[in-house]
Every structure is written in C-alpha cells, then in structure tokens.
C-alpha cells in the first residue's frame, strides 16, 4: 500500500500527467514532477506540483514514479539516455508507466530494471485527460493483482483496475481499447460528413444519433467539437492517436489479425497530421470529411 504521506513523482507533465497530478494532490499525496517542456512545467506548478529541475531529482525525492510520456523510445531515453534517471532510482523503486507504447519494449525494459531492484509496470489509462481528471479512467495493468501493493494509488485516478498478469499485457489491451475508441470517432465523423454534404444541420443530426440505439459516449465527448469545428483546447491530441493506430497495426500483424478499417483510419489521420491537425483534439478527424 502506498501511504498518502508518501511522495509521488511524475515525469511527463502534459495533459495526462497533470490530470493524474491533480487527483493525487486532492487525495493528499505530495507530488514532485518534471517535464522537458517549460510550458508544461508552469501549468503543473499552478496545480500545486513541486516541479524539479530534472528527472534524477524526481527519482531522489520519490520511490513511486509515474511516467506519462509519448513513446517507448522516450522512456528509454529518459532512463538510460541524457537524463539517466535509472542511475538515481531508489532501491525498491516502483515505476508506473502510463505510456501507450510497444508491448515488447516494456517487457524488455522491465527485465532490465528488475536486475537493479526496480519494478516497472505498464499502467495504461483508458480515457482522455478529462476522463482521468474526473476519476473515470480504466487502469489496464501489466501485473498480477496479488502483487499490486500500489492498487490504492491507482484508485485515486481510475474508477476500475484490470490486471493482465505480466509486463506488456496492459499495453496490448490498451491498443485493443484504443482501436474501438478511434473507430467510434471515425464512424461519427463519417456520418456527420455525409450529413453535411447532404445539407443537414449537424446539430440536428447529432441529436438524432444520440437519441436512439446509435448512441455512444463519443457523441457527447467529440460530437459537439465536430459540429462546431473547434478542436481546442485538446483533451487528447490527434497526433497521439495516429501513433497509437500504427502500434495497433503492428500488433495486428504480429498476431495475424485482419484490421482493414484501422488501416484506412491510419491513412486518414496521417494525412491530417501532415496537414497540420496533429496538435488539435482528436475530434479533428472530422476534417477528413468536411466540405
């Protein structure tokens, strides 16, 4: 069990990192953080995070550290590159990794860190930064439930926790979940694109879709953004989902699964990222269908 007086470190103070930090601070945990981006650091300071000058400083302050980075490569650079955070980790440290990355990478990195007495666990959070901030995310965990002496910490920022036995498995389940999230958005965007081309009022069509068996929560979260064409501020960026879709395709190839719709999805959002929509909310997938 992670006591409420125990300091928690967060490396990566973007949308997700700050959402987790706010939940932890509200629950009484001291939070130390670091990000390479000063804008993210400034925003984190405003929430009450004690922002430190580098990742090693976080490792010296906190034995339990959450990583909220973009890719597996970012984690490896953090641990063994210029930041060399692995050199400063305390004996018995616990790293909770919220990265949606390549499952094989976290398997390898967990083995490498275990030799130094450090436990690395993929704790993938299903939900946008807004969902996480509301405490409604799901935690998809690459560990055995009986070994999760940190479970009470996860309950602070997730409504349910699912354990899948070993490092990498949380990442694999997250890719399956993100496939559904992404295609739900894509279907809504395509339907609204058809409605727009046919001359219908998009607000009216969204109301109809919400009212019947076609309803999905993506209509509440993303529908108004698509109808208005306003994708800022983002709660989950389109470029990040583009990265996830390519990981989904790689995973599917490894296991021999057919994912033709996801292949089409990847082509659409790659084009949008090239056109400058990557930093906008992922509802901007609608721009592929606009008049």
Please check whether residue 4 is in contact with residue 28, taking contact to mean a CB–CB distance below 8 angstroms: yes
Mean pLDDT of the chain: 96
Q: Residue 4 above 80 pLDDT? A: no
Tens of pLDDT, residue by residue over 126-147, are 988 999 999 999 999 999 999 9
Q: Which fold has domain 8-167?
A: Rossmann fold (3.40.50)
Tens of pLDDT, residue by residue over 203-224, are 999 999 999 999 999 999 999 9
Banded pLDDT at 3 (limits 50, 70, 90): confident
Sequence-distant (6+) residues with CB within 8 A of 34 are 9, 10, 11, 13, 41, 51, 52, 53, 54, 55, 57, 58
Please check whether residue 15 is in contact with residue 137, taking contact to mean a CB–CB distance below 8 angstroms: no
Query: May I ask the CATH class of domain 173-288?
Result: mainly alpha
pLDDT at 200: 98
Banded pLDDT at 56 (limits 50, 70, 90): very high
Please check whether residue 43 is in contact with residue 13, taking contact to mean a CB–CB distance below 8 angstroms: yes
pLDDT at 219: 98
Q: What percentage of the chain carries pLDDT values higher than 70?
A: 100
Domain parsing of the chain, residue ranges: 8-167, 173-288
Rounded Cα gap, residues 125 and 285, in angstroms: 22
Banded pLDDT at 2 (limits 50, 70, 90): confident
Q: Residue 165 above 80 pLDDT? A: yes
Tens of pLDDT, residue by residue over 61-104, are 999 999 999 999 999 999 999 999 999 999 999 999 999 999 99
Banded pLDDT at 291 (limits 50, 70, 90): confident
Tens of pLDDT, residue by residue over 226-282, are 999 999 999 999 999 999 999 999 999 999 999 999 999 999 999 999 999 999 999
Domains 8-167 and 173-288 share a fold: no
Q: Residue 117 above 90 pLDDT? A: yes
Banded pLDDT at 168 (limits 50, 70, 90): very high
Is the pTM of the predicted complex or chain greater than 0.75?
Answer: yes
């Amino acid at each position: 069990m992670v006591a409420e007086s125990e300091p928690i470190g967060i490396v990566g103070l973007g949308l997700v990192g700050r959402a987790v930090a706010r939940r932890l601070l509200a629950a009484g945990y001291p939070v130390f953080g670091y990000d390479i981006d000063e804008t993210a650091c400034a925003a984190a300071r405003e929430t009450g995070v004690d922002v430190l000058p580098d990742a090693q400083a976080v490792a010296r302050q906190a034995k339990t550290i959450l990583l909220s980075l973009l890719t597996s490569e970012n984690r490896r650079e953090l641990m063994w590159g210029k930041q060399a955070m692995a050199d400063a980790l305390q004996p018995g440290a616990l790293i909770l990794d919220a990265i949606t990355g390549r499952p094989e990478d976290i398997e390898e990195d967990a083995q490498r860190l275990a030799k130094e007495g450090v436990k690395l666990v993929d704790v993938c959070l299903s939900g946008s930064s807004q969902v996480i901030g509301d405490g409604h995310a799901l935690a998809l965990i690459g560990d055995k439930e009986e070994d999760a002496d940190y479970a009470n910490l996860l309950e602070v920022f997730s409504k349910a926790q699912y354990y899948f036995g070993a490092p990498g498995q949380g990442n694999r389940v997250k890719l399956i979940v993100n496939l559904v999230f992404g295609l739900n958005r894509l279907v809504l965007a395509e339907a609204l694109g058809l409605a727009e081309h046919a001359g219908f009022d998009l607000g009216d069509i969204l109301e109809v879709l919400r009212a019947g068996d076609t309803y999905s929560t993506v209509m509440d979260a993303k529908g108004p953004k698509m109808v208005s064409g306003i994708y800022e501020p983002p709660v989950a960026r389109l470029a990040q989902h583009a990265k996830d879709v390519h990981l989904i395709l790689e995973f599917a190839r490894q296991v021999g699964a057919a994912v033709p719709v996801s292949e089409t999805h990847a082509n659409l959002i790659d084009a949008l990222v090239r056109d400058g929509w990557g930093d906008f909310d992922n509802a901007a997938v609608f721009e592929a269908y606009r008049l």
